[in-house]
Amino acid sequence: LHLVAQQVVERALRIVRGEEDASNLTLFASTNNSAIQKFQQRFLEKFPTEHFYLDGGSQGVIRRSTLPKLQQAQDWLRTTEFNQETWEQAKLDLLSAENEIQQLVEQDRFNESQQTVNTEQVSQLNAQIQSLNNEIAAIHEELQAHQEQQESLGDYADFPIDAYQQIKEGLSRAERELPKQSDSITKRAFDLINFTSDKLVFKRLANHVNAAVLNTLTTAYPFQLPLDRKSLAASQISVNQKLLSSQQWQNLKPKVAEIQTQLTTLNQQLESKQTHYQQLQTELDNYPIEDFYSRFYRDYHPQQVQLFQRAFSFLQQETLRLKDKVMQAVETYGSALTGDGDALLKLETEAYYIYRDLSLIFPVINSSLQSVRNMLPTLHSNSIALALADEAGTTLIHQLFPLLVRSQQAVVAGDPNQIEPIINLCDDTIKQYLKTAFLEQGMTQIDYYRYAPTAKYTATAYHRAAGANGTEGDLGTGIVLRNHYRCVAPIIQFCSPNYKDGLQILSNYDSSTQQPHLLAYHVQGSHINNTNPEEIDAVENAIAFLLENGYSTEEDDTNKAIGVMSPFTRQANALRYRLSNRWQNFSWDDIGTVHTFQGGEKAAIILSPYQCHQEHSFWFLNRKPNLLNTAVSRARELFVLVGNLEELKRAGGETKRLVEHIEQHGEIRFHSA
């Protein structure tokens, strides 16, 4: 649907920009009717307008659906008038929606460049922070050493240094004045004349330093006057030591203050850089991990829907503006579908213009691959702007040719892990085809497995589109879409191991629900006329139980519809007969083989495997994971297995894995006849 919407938007924007208009015709095709019906159902849900897509296919579908829709379009065009103001407003609305998305793109580019800048800044800041931490640690060690030295010296903050200087001078004078044996004759004579004695010297000392001593008494360093020669010497040593320590302490004080100031500055710088670092890191953490286009479809889906809606509204107004041309194109195309010779001739010569004008009102056509030639009766290489081929894993390579030769571009989608195509040829015919079409033409068996439409395991439409090399198991280089939205997690978890690196399960799922999403009914079973009657009885009872719990056999009730399948045609036919007789509204299309459900889905799927005896081969079920992978993945919310669980486990392979998966993630019940 995104690709369809993209074609609509691109065409509308080309027109409003004044660029050359061209067809945007998209054709969806598949060999599988279930895939086509699912595509139609999605269109009914998303695009409930009458003038958007054409149902196509067989001549019966053309008569019942295609031609009436074309007639409705003609009637609408005849009765609806073009309004210039409405056209102009639709144009402005479209440009506004485009501008909104363009701003998102530009903002993302800015964010991307800013993210690069921020990443570089964070790296630089990280280095700067580390450098600052190292510098702070080194300076802190230096400060600690100075502080330890200060502590060892003591606290000299209030040391009376002037007083101690005076005391030091007084002590030195007293020491000089004291009589000594080594004094000169002159000093001895002088001391004798002045009656100098120790007592007199200490008395004069006391008078001389009295004021200084008083200044020390109120501090932590009070000084006590010496009274004799011995205490004088001790006082001199003490005073000198205190003065020295005080000087050392005073010298350390500005260094400590300087280092502390430096540390404060560095810590402020560190805090600033750390704050900036955190801000940048927060910004980086808030940047999305995925690139813009990986999250665009998810984060900006409302803007995309708005852009499409406005593009489609504009194209509707453009259709009215060009109503004469569009009506002529619709008339010619409808007549060509009925086989009108003049219309076919006109379509042959004017295909470009007819499909260009037709796709204004009907940009999408769906059809089976077998009926592409019905919907595009003339062969022109660019009739289709975009071809969408679904279920390519079940499509034979040659079935794509009518679609591809009419297309400018093609998207081929499919799952090679689903059921392979059915080849309605016997082995001898296939061998003869290998011989005459390949070996006798100078080609090899490798070429056969790479290109032959009969090489169903290695050369499906999917394998060729993906460029596979023809070796079984090689899937080429196609784009792998791992996101899974259909089945609830317990169901699709069984299928996930079949895909390299698994699936990313994005379906809505409430893990707290008490209702199981996987059920298995054990039925002993028996084989009568290639059917298993006990399994059919159990399936009937299981359906009755589901109907009591809100499920439906109504084909139109897509939200709660039940589907019943078996790998074997006889069992599927027996189920159809029994179930449609009991429930008249149970459509035969909802009961069939696993192959008939390829490409489809139901709210609940019931699988009757038929095989129930050890002597019967389970090889058909287990030879490849494709069959059970397809069966299980058809169920959106409930998968029910009805069969002999013991024998299915004993057979090993996928049947064993399925039973064990239900045992682990669902519920096992025993059917009583």
Measured N-to-C along each axis, helices 2-16 and 301-321 cross at an angle, to the nearest 10 degrees, of 50
Distance CA 201, CA 185 (A): 19
How far is Cα 531 from Cα 476, in angstroms, rounded to an integer?
40
Task: Please list, residue by residue across 277-288, b when 16 or more beta carbons sit within 10 angstroms of its beta carbon and e when fewer do.
Answer: beebeeeeeeee
pTM value is 0.72
Q: Please give the structure tokens belonging to residue 40.
A: 């139609």
Residue 639: closest CA among 667, 619, 611, 664: 667
Q: Where in the chain is the domain with CATH 3.40.50.300?
A: 489-670
State the DSSP H helix or E strand holding residue 165, giving kind and residue range, or none if neither. Answer: helix 161-177
List the one residue out of 515, 524, 605, 514 whose CA is nearest residue 564: 605
Extract the tokens encoding 208.
């001389």
Cβ(638)–Cβ(605) below 8 Å: yes
**Closest CA relative to residue 387, chosen from 398, 377, 372, 371:** 372
| Main-chain dihedrals φ then ψ at residue 545, nearest 5 degrees | -65, -45
Condensed to tens digits (0 to 9), the pLDDT of residues 469-500 reads 999 888 899 888 888 888 998 999 998 888 88
Q: Determine how many CB atoms are found less than 10 A away from the CB of residue 155.
A: 10
CA of 186: how far to CAs of 30, 189, 192, 196, 448, in Å? 138, 5, 10, 13, 139
Q: How many CB atoms lie within 10 A of CB 404?
A: 16
pLDDT of residue 189: 65
The pLDDT assigned to 485 comes to: 82
- In 3D space, the residue among 200, 194, 212, 201 whose CA is nearest the CA of residue 175 turns out to be 201
Sign, CA torsion 239/240/244/245? negative
Angle, CA 60 vertex, CA 403 and CA 592 arms, to 5° = 80
Can you give the pLDDT at residue 293?
Answer: 80
The pLDDT value given to residue 309: 92
Contact at 8 Å (CB) between 625 and 658?
no
Q: For tokens 């486990």, what's the residue?
A: 649
User: Given this model, what pLDDT does residue 194 score?
Assistant: 64
Question: For residue 381, how many other CB atoms are within 10 A of its CB?
Answer: 11
Q: Whats the size of the chain, residue-wise?
A: 673
pLDDT of residue 357: 96
The strand pairing partners of 483, in sequence order, are 504
pLDDT tens-digit readout, 538-564: 999 999 999 999 999 887 777 889 999
Structure tokens at 272: 């600033």
User: Would residue 602 be called left, alpha or beta, if left means φ above 0 and alpha means ψ between -120 and 50 degrees?
Assistant: beta
Residues 6+ apart with CB under 8 A from 279: none
Fold observed for domain 489-670:
Rossmann fold (3.40.50)
| Residues contacting residue 274 through CB under 8 Å, at least 6 positions apart | 129
Q: What is the DSSP letter of 602?
A: E
What contacts 19, CB < 8 A, 6 or more positions away?
none
d(C-alpha 269, C-alpha 366), whole Å: 68
What is the rounded CA–CA span in Å between residue 292 and residue 104? 9
Q: Pull the structure tokens for residue 563.
A: 């589907």
CB 549 within 8 A of CB 576: no
* Intervals of the chain under pLDDT 50: none
Within 10 angstroms of residue 515's Cβ, the number of other Cβ atoms is 10
Sole residue written with tokens 């290639």: 530
Other C-beta atoms lying within 10 Å of the C-beta of residue 139? 15
Query: In this structure, what are the phi and psi dihedrals at residue 563, rounded to the nearest 5 degrees?
Result: -120, 140
Is the Cβ–Cβ distance between 348 and 73 less than 8 Å? no
For 637-663, give one letter per residue: b (16+ CB within 10 A) or e.
Answer: bbbbbbbbbebbeebebbbbbbbebbe
Per the CB < 8 A criterion, the answer to whether 266 and 140 are in contact is no
Write out the DSSP string of 550-569.
T-B-BTT-TTTBEEEEESSH
- The Cα–Cα gap between 658 and 56 comes to 38
Coil vs helix vs strand at 31 = coil
* Residue pair 96/306 in contact by the 8 Å Cβ criterion: no
Residues 10 and 308: beta-carbon distance below 8 Å: no
Residue 1 makes CB contacts below 8 A (sequence gap 6+) with 42, 43, 46
- 645 closest CA partner among 625, 619, 667, 620: 667
Around Cβ 207, how many Cβ atoms within 10 Å? 10
